[in-house]
Amino acid sequence: MAIKPEEFNFAKHDQFNNAMIPGKFARALRTCKIWQFIRFIVLNIKMLIVVSKSH
């Protein structure tokens, strides 16, 4: 069976074998424009809250 790309690195090194590596869906979300636009708004709000608590 062909190895899934996200599982490829596990075998490369012990350091990687013990880590969590994102799968196809999690990786796709990272650059999915619609999802990231929503995250952009959420992150800005979260950051502004921390900024306002710090001034």
Q: What residues make contact with another protein under the rule CB under 8 A?
A: 6, 9-10, 12-13, 15-16, 18-22, 27, 29-33, 36-37, 39-40, 43-44, 46-55
What is the nearest approach in angstroms of another protein to the Cβ of residue 29? 7
Tally DSSP H helices, then E strands, for the chain. Answer: 3, 0
Residue labelled with tokens 């952009």: 40
Nearer to another protein, 2 or 18 (CB): 18
What is the nearest approach in angstroms of another protein to the Cβ of residue 2? 18
User: How many Å apart are CA 21 and CA 17, to the nearest integer?
Assistant: 9
DSSP state of 5: G
